[in-house]
Chains A and B, each alone.
Chain A
Amino acid sequence: MNDLLWIFVSAMVINNFTLYYFLGLCPFFGVSGQLKTAFRLGLATIFVMLITSLCASFLNAFVLPHAPYLKLIAFIVVIASTVQFVEMLIRKLSPTLFRALGIFLPLITTNCAILFLALTQTSRDYSLVQGVSFALGAGSGFTLALVLMAGLRQEASLASVPEIVKGTALNMIIAGLLSLAFMGFAGLFSAV
């Protein structure tokens, strides 16, 4: 139990995928302009991560021991088809949710955080349950970072900033400060 909690907390805040491992930066900078869309993209990512983690556990158990060199290709195929499948499923089950998420779903395929999740889960030999805990932690950590970033950027857009700092440079520096703040979580869970 302790182990599951450590995996979750570690993936969520201590080793936050975006702010510590620099994963998913494209959506992190691309979609963090607005709070609402950022939150929805985060939720969709959690969902895809969860399914990817289950698929990766399955692949690790049955396919990859026989052909370890197919790991990367297998994961990419799984992620791409998962996203496609989730998209179809949501469209069928809840058109409202689909309209809310619609455009962001395909974007998730190219999110390196998902591939990193599957690869890390494999290299650390996580079990099915540990993998789920890892995926939930990583997904909520991504959402947290995205939402915080969106909030900060909305505030920053109201401030008066020199022309040359505007845009990517400013976003990078904001992200750096956010990452600095997240370093405070290190040690949160250690042996005492």
Chain B
Amino acid sequence: MTDHAVDSSRLYDEFVKGIWKENPVFVQVLGMCPMLAVTNSAVNALAMGLATAFVLIGSSVLVSLFRRLIPRQVRISTYIIIIATFVTVADFTLEAVVPTVHRELGAFISLIVVNCLILGRQEAFASRNPIHVALADAVGMAIGFAFALFCLGATREILGSGSLFGVSLFGENFEPWVIMVLPPGGFLMLGFILLFFNWVQQRRTLRPSRVSPATREAA
């Protein structure tokens, strides 16, 4: 019974860490290349997030399942073949189901294959953990990544086109801040978001030193 409890709490920890504490984008700053390019609208960001999630979860499950069968020397090549297979399948599926989104994303779907986040998770986690833990980790990381993409995409779309998911928000008189949907906006927006995270982090580290004198006085 306790075993089970420990296990499920670990599963929960592995799942949650990817969403906030070790968020692949905001905290680890991984997988930036395909990310900035596709986040000029919320729809594109979401599609990219889903495609990446599919690849990450699929390959994590496979790698974890066969982790004892894959010899160490050829592990990277094997992982890359597995990842590339999932990416190609995702690419075909998107092209068949949502051709317009696929055209907007273009080559960036194929570029998921060189996303350091995915290979990193296989190497650091899936290859040395049982399948259910690897799955929890992959789902957490995937949600974290998709969440980050969506935040960036939605903010840039709202500021740069005055709309969200293509629905106009501010009416006729809104002058869109076009630069936000252009490439410089991607760099600037991510810069500001990282700045915000740094600020939160700094406040958190400063708080104990601020609180302690006050408590001492109270005592």
Contacts and interface: CB of A to CB of B under 8 A. Distances in A.
Interface of A: 19-26, 69, 71-73, 76, 110-112, 115-116, 119-120, 123, 163-165, 167-173, 175-177, 179-180, 183
Contacts of A26: 32-33, 116
A170 B195 CA distance: 8
Most chain B CB within a 10 A radius of its CB, from A110, A111, A179: A179
A134 B152 CA distance: 31
B49 interface: no
Interface of B: 29, 32-37, 80-81, 84-85, 87-88, 91-92, 106-107, 110-111, 113-116, 179, 182-188, 190-192, 194-195, 198-199, 202
Most chain B CB within a 10 A radius of its CB, from A71, A165, A168: A168
B188 A20 contact: no
Contact of B187 (A72, A115, A164, A176): A176
A183 B182 contact: yes
A116 B185 CA distance: 22
Given A24-B33, A112-B111, 18 more contacts: A25-B33, A26-B116, A72-B110, A73-B81, A73-B84, A76-B80, A110-B114, A112-B34, A115-B113, A115-B114, A116-B107, A168-B194, A172-B194, A176-B185, A176-B191, A180-B184, A183-B182, A183-B184
Contacts, number: 102
Nearest to A24: B33
Nearest to A119: B107
Most chain B CB within a 10 A radius of its CB, from A24, A115, A116, A163: A116
B156 to A, nearest CB: 12
A23 B32 CA distance: 9
Contacts of B33: 22-26, 112
Nearest to A165: B195
A163 B202 contact: yes
B211 to A, nearest CB: 20
Given A72-B113, A164-B198, A169 B183 contact: no
